[in-house]
Amino acid sequence: MDGGVITQVFLYPPGTLMAMNRVSGAPFRLERNFYVIRNGKLEPQWAGTKRRTLSIGGRAISALIQTQGISDLDRIYRIARQDGADFNLAYIGSDFYFPHNQKFDGEYMKRLFDYAFQLSAKGYPWHKSPPSEKALERPGSLAPL
């Protein structure tokens, strides 16, 4: 089975650092930097779906996997905050668009590589929180947890 169905990105289980502190009796003082690279967009992608059971089911599963991947990023971000680690996230931005209809489209992959190369040549601007966390930080919204 594809591991993305269970979890797409993992770190260590929440509470690991607290357990290590409890066992050793002293705070664990190692600098931690988390770098997460997501090979995908984080914004929902519109897609037409035929009114057929298999088409609707396939689209539902695709949306579920997308949402689950975003939840993985949120979980890792919360672990980073809890454990005092530096969080860094890279993903395909909404400014990249190149249509493709095949799983392994060589031209799409080349364009995606060029997009990432251009971003890295300028010094990639690592995101310090997932986009879902930024939505919570807007004025008038709920404060981050």
**Domain locations in the chain as residue ranges:** 32-136
Distances (CA, A) of 20 to 77, 83, 126: 20, 11, 29
> Which two structure tokens, joined as six digits, stand for 130?
């997932």
CB atoms within 10 A of CB 125: 9
Please tell me which residue, 79 or 14, carries the higher pLDDT value: 79
Radius of gyration of the chain (CA): 18
Predicted confidence band of residue 2 (pLDDT cuts 50, 70, 90): low
Decide if 82 contacts 30 (C-beta within 8 A): no
Q: How is residue 107 written in tokens?
A: 């031209």
pTM (global) more than 0.85: no
Assess whether pLDDT exceeds 80 at residue 50: yes
Q: In this predicted structure, what is the pLDDT of residue 103?
A: 79
Give tens-digit pLDDT for 95-132. 998 888 787 899 999 999 999 999 999 898 899 999 87
What is the mean predicted confidence (pLDDT) over 79-102?
Answer: 89
